[in-house]
């Protein structure tokens, strides 16, 4: 008999459906009513031994994952093996997986380095796990089957940089899975492009589209709603709406807290704030889960760039693609002459956070609606929450935005604060941190961390700099010694060389050389053999469908 706890079954945020298994949620990605999957309850961390703070990243991950995955779906030994494979030394360069370093002792500001995976950005933490899950489920479904009988998964994704390479590294060489990543030709950074196209595994297909990122995304959407290809191919998504990605990210909130306890930096009365550079709201949502599982987080601070829909929501209660209400919320017009393109996304120095709307915000809305309507039986409460979310998302689609009631905004403010950081401030923060000696530079070196220049100086990437800038503001409101801040560092500076070089231009006189922070993995990357297929927009969906069919077919051939 299969046994499940409440948190091991899933529902759709738009209220249409309940009782999904973890496997269904992972393979399907999106609910058929267009909603996102959520566990039917947030589990408590529960009884843990006193020495849990000594647990390795993998032990912690296993404990957390098992709260959300029934042992009748993935037996404990198998789940342990999936975790081991995902976070082993051959995958992550740091023994801690996500090490914590001290940025400013006096201010009690710590940096959680999430960029020690294969593609040097935080998305690896989730996509390594997701890749192994896909493989596990398919191997099980295909036991004893051969040839055309075998189920084959075709993962389709569009990327402006980070997601694509992390997905490719998570899925390369996996049995029964093909991965097709579309990117706008000539519009991703040279390092990011080379990271993707230098992966030569048979099951990896890089498609360079002669258009914009949105054209790539339109292709992806068209494929997912195309009856023809869905009849013959099982399509899967790896973007941040996949629940397994959020789940994987919960681990490092607990892990970094544990490392503060171990180093004696927390007392029982300390307050902890996490500051998270935010785009699609996936990373920080994992923090929300950690908090509600029992981790004593005082606040989660959302740090946005000039694409600030989330920041405006927290200031005004309106979630709008274009600011209509409360223009003062983001301090007037965008500075530095940054021009928004037609649909309103601004190109900034932190491209992985350039979003118009945040897809995972829908998940938080569901919890807030559920919490605010806490009357009546739980089924009814869920139904109302789903209806609310459905209504809001319809309004967003039809009129570009929606507002929530005061009570709901108040509820959102209990767990979150928000900050908006401009490009100018991003550069100033990279400079400011570089110009002071930080313990992080030393600690980082002893951990074998690259990204730290010589002379004991620490170099932030532009995304991480947004987190640090927001943290410094939060520290003014909530200073030490009562409050400690952990800012999440989401990418290695070498991935965003032009922003870093721009920020540190003047430091060249003082000996700054970009080559000093270049990891050996990046040296000569652009000269490696590459495999990429050009896709013409004018060939349309027809052409793309044919391409996918032939690629998947050639892999299936014996």
- Provide, rounded to whole angstroms, the least separation between the CB of residue 122 and ligand PLP: 6
CB of 443: closest distance to ligand PLP in angstroms?
A: 21
Q: Which stretch binds ligand PLP (CB under 6 A): 26-34, 105-113, 116-124, 213-221?
A: 116-124
Q: How far apart (Å, rounded) are the C-alpha atoms in residues 50 and 453? A: 38
Q: Which stretch binds ligand PLP (CB under 6 A): 27-35, 90-98, 115-123, 524-532?
A: 115-123
Instruction: Give the residue, chosen from 281, 288, 318, 512, that forms a contact with ligand PLP under the rule CB under 6 A.
Output: 281
* Number of residues engaging ligand PLP in binding (CB under 6 A): 17
Instruction: Write out the binding residues for ligand PLP, residues 407-446 only, by CB under 6 A.
Output: none
Of the two residues 13 and 108, which places its CB atom closer to ligand PLP in the complex? 13
Does position 191 interact with ligand PLP (CB under 6 A)? The reply is no
Rule CB under 6 A: is residue 352 a binding residue for ligand PLP? Answer: yes
Does the N-terminal peptide bond of residue 496 adopt cis geometry, omega within 30 degrees of 0?
no
Q: Based on CB atoms, which residue is closest to ligand PLP, 121 or 552?
A: 121
Residue 323 has a CB neighbour count (10 Å cut-off) of 18
Closest-CA residue to 275 (of 123, 419, 99, 428): 419
Residue 165, interface with ligand PLP (CB under 6 A)? no
- What the block records as the tokens of 423 is 């490009």
Is 353 a binder of ligand PLP (CB under 6 A)? Answer: yes
Sign, Cα dihedral of 347, 349, 352, 355: negative
Among residues 67, 123, 273, 382, the one that binds ligand PLP under rule CB under 6 A:
123
Beta pairing partners, 184: 209
DSSP string, 43-109: PP-----GGGGG--HHHHHHHHHHHHS-TTTS-HHHHHHHHHHHTSTTT-SSTTSS-EEEEETTTTE
Return the residue of 102, 132, 195, 278 that touches ligand PLP, per CB under 6 A: 278
Residue 207 touching ligand PLP (CB under 6 A): no
Tokens 């027809």 correspond to 542
> Cα-atom radius of gyration of the chain, to the nearest Å?
23
Q: Judging by beta carbons within 10 Å of its beta carbon (0-12, 13-18, 19+), is residue 337 exposed, middle or buried?
A: exposed
Residue 403: strand, helix, or coil: strand
- Sheet containing strand 234-237, edge to edge, reads 234-237, 153-158, 177-184, 204-209, 533-535
Using the rule CB under 6 A, which residue among 277, 317, 401, 451 binds ligand PLP? 277
CB of 167 to ligand PLP, least distance (A): 12
If binding is defined by CB under 6 A, does position 518 make contact with ligand PLP? Answer: no
Minimum distance from residue 398 beta carbon to ligand PLP (Å)? 25
Residues forming the active site: 123
Q: Which of 121, 138, 412, 468 binds ligand PLP (CB under 6 A)?
A: 121
Smallest distance, ligand PLP to C-beta of residue 375, A: 33
Can you name the residues that pair with 271 across neighbouring β-strands? 483
- Kindly state the tokens that stand for 470: 């927001």
Which of 280, 316, 422, 447 contacts ligand PLP by CB under 6 A?
A: 280
Q: Which two tokens stand for residue 420?
A: 């908006």
3-state SS, residue 342? coil
Nearer to ligand PLP, 167 or 352 (CB): 352
The residue within the footprint of ligand PLP, chosen from 29, 118, 279, 493 (CB under 6 A), is 279
Q: Which stretch binds ligand PLP (CB under 6 A): 227-235, 277-285, 405-413, 449-457?
A: 277-285
Q: How far is the CB of 248 from ligand PLP (least distance, A)?
A: 12
- Least CB distance to ligand PLP at residue 428 (A): 19
Q: Calculate the CA 313 to chain-centre distance.
A: 20
Q: How far is the CB of 552 from ligand PLP (least distance, A)?
A: 28
* Least gap, CB of 190 to ligand PLP (angstroms): 17
314 CA to centre of own chain = 20
Torsional class of 264: left (φ above 0), alpha (ψ -120 to 50), beta (otherwise): left
One residue of 167, 199, 459, 491 binding ligand PLP per CB under 6 A: 491
For 150, half-sphere exposure in the C-beta direction (CA atoms, 13 angstrom radius) is 23
Half-sphere exposure of 440 (CA within 13 A, CB side): 29
Within 13 A of 358's CA, how many CA atoms are on the CB side?
Answer: 29
Q: Exactly one of 7, 203, 206, 240 binds ligand PLP (CB under 6 A); which one?
A: 240
**Contact stretch for ligand PLP (CB under 6 A) within 274-282, 375-383, 424-432, 499-507:** 274-282
Contact pick of 104, 124, 162, 415 for ligand PLP (by CB under 6 A): 162
304: which 2 tokens? 């946005």
Decide if residue 283 touches ligand PLP (CB under 6 A). yes
Contact positions vs ligand PLP (CB under 6 A): 121-123, 162, 240, 277-283, 352-353, 463, 490-491
């Amino acid at each position: 008999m299969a046994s499940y706890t409440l948190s091991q079954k899933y529902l759709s945020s738009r209220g249409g459906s309940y009782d999904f298994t973890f496997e269904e949620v992972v393979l399907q990605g999106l609910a058929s009513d267009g909603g996102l999957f959520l566990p039917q309850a947030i589990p408590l961390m529960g009884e843990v031994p006193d020495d849990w703070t000594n647990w390795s990243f993998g032990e912690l991950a296993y404990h957390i994952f098992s709260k959300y995955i029934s042992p009748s779906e993935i037996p404990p030994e198998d789940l342990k093996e999936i975790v081991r494979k995902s976070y082993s030394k051959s995958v992550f360069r740091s023994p801690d997986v996500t090490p914590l370093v001290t940025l400013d002792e006096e201010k009690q500001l710590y940096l959680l380095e999430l960029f020690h995976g294969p593609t040097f950005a935080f998305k690896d933490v989730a996509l390594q796990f997701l890749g192994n899950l896909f493989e596990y489920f398919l191997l099980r479904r295909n036991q004893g089957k051969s040839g055309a009988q075998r189920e084959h998964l075709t993962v389709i994704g569009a990327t402006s940089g980070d997601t694509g390479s992390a997905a490719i590294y998570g899925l390369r060489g996996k049995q029964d899975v093909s991965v097709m990543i579309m990117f706008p030709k000539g519009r991703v950074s040279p390092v990011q492009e080379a990271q993707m196209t230098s992966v030569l595994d048979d099951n990896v297909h890089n498609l360079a589209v002669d258009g914009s990122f949105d054209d790539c995304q339109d292709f992806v959407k068209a494929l997912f709603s195309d009856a023809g290809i869905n009849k013959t191919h099982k399509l899967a998504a790896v973007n941040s709406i996949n629940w397994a990605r959020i789940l994987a990210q919960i681990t490092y909130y607990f892990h970094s807290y544990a490392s503060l306890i171990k180093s004696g930096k927390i007392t029982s009365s300390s307050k902890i704030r996490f500051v998270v550079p935010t785009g699609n709201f996936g990373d920080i949502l994992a923090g929300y889960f950690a908090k509600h599982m029992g981790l004593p987080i005082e606040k989660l601070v959302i740090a946005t760039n000039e694409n600030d829909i989330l920041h405006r929501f927290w200031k005004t209660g309106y979630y709008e693609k274009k600011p209509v209400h409360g223009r003062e919320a983001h301090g007037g017009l965008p500075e530095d002459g940054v021009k928004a393109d037609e649909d309103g996304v601004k190109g900034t120095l932190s491209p992985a956070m350039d979003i118009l709307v945040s897809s995972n915000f829908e998940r938080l809305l569901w919890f807030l609606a559920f919490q605010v309507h806490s009357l009546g039986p739980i089924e009814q409460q869920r139904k109302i929450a789903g209806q609310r979310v459905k209504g809001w998302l319809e309004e967003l689609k039809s009129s570009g935005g929606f507002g929530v009631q005061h009570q709901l905004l108040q509820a959102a403010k209990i767990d979150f604060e928000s900050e908006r950081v401009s490009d100018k401030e991003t550069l100033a923060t990279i400079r400011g941190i570089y110009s002071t000696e930080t313990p992080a530079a030393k600690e980082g070196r002893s951990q074998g961390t690259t990204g730290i220049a010589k002379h004991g100086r620490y170099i932030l990437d532009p995304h991480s700099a947004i987190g640090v800038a927001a943290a410094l503001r939060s520290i003014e409101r909530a200073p030490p010694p009562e409050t400690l801040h952990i800012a999440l560092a989401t990418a290695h500076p070498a991935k965003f060389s032009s922003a870093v070089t721009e920020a540190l231009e003047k430091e060249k006189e003082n000996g700054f050389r970009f080559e000093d922070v270049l990891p050996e993995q990046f040296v000569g990357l652009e000269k490696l053999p590459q495999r990429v297929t050009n896709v013409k927009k004018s060939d349309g969906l027809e052409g793309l469908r044919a391409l996918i069919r032939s690629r998947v077919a050639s892999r299936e051939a014996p």
